[in-house]
Amino acid sequence: MANSNKPIVDTNEVSTRPHLSIQLEKLALPTFDGDITKFQQFWCSFELAVHKDENIDLNMKYLYLQSLLTGDAKAVLQDLEPSQDNYHHLVRALKKRYDCPRMNRALLHQALQELPTASDVGSDMRSTWFRISGILHSLKRYEDLNKVLSIIDLVRSKFPLVIQEKLNDAEFQRGTDFDLQQVMVHLDNIISSREKFELSCPRPAVSVSSRDHSAERQRSRSSPRPRSRSKSPSVTYDPSKCCFCDSSSHSSRRCDQRIR
């Protein structure tokens, strides 16, 4: 007679675990190296994809979270072993160490302050715009900067004067000063126009050989050429001979050939 006291195994749960493991491996979540300014972005991604998913057991959550920690962030893993209880302990340790609003706010302001001014190339201005946009988005968690003049002026200063002039012209035509959001929108439009212009007017490619030849021609024009001197015939003089008739019998003063 079969033993009726055997534990009942949930086949659905067993069959889904390998699938979940494969799905976790395919997730391309950002890693976290201990940069406080990047913690919120990291945690929001992990929380959305893994932390709130009740179908993933805590052991797998711990292992996956552990695999995403690099650099200084690995310090929170000291003396912790993979287990269901330690997963929640790891999450609390991460938030306690890196979820620091006051420090994060100060570091974001510093990052905006130290951001170098973009060149007048469209791609460089676009990169600067995206960088500023990300910093401002993170700062919105702590304060409303939309009408803070010092921040608006700081954002303007990160772009070339020609872009600032176009922004000023747009303000002048409207008759009112832009707030921070309007500044970012108009900068986006101005940069898009510059990018479109650069695509329609590509710069001619100059080969290395032609550039070298051009430089050589320029040098040859600017540097004076040395004058060539004609060689004078070598003249030998023998005082014992007459220089008129080449005779050794008399001197040049007594030669009768010179008066002919």
Structural domain boundaries enclosing 73: 36-99
205 in a structural domain: no
Q: Rounded mean pLDDT of the chain?
A: 80
Q: Is the pLDDT of residue 229 over 60?
A: no
Least Cα distance to 151 among 168, 165, 139 occurs for 139
Do 112 and 50 have their domain in common?
Answer: no
Do 48 and 66 have their domain in common?
Answer: yes
Do 179 and 135 have their domain in common?
Answer: yes
Residues 107-148 have pLDDT tens digits of 999 999 999 999 999 999 999 999 999 999 989 988 999 999
217 in a structural domain: no
Do 139 and 80 have their domain in common?
Answer: no
Alpha-carbon span 13 to 34, nearest angstrom: 35
Alpha-carbon span 110 to 122, nearest angstrom: 25
184 in a structural domain: yes
Look at the chain and report how many structural domains it folds into.
Answer: 2
244 in a structural domain: no
Last residue of a domain, one of 149, 184, 200: 200
Last residue of a domain, one of 52, 69, 99: 99
* pLDDT given for residue 13 in this prediction: 44
Alpha-carbon span 19 to 44, nearest angstrom: 23
Can you tell me which residue has the tokens 């005779």? 247
144 in a structural domain: yes
Among left, alpha and beta (phi > 0; psi -120 to 50; other), residue 250 is: beta
Last residue of a domain, one of 64, 99, 134: 99
Residues 41-91 have pLDDT tens digits of 899 999 998 999 888 888 889 988 988 999 999 888 877 777 777 899 999
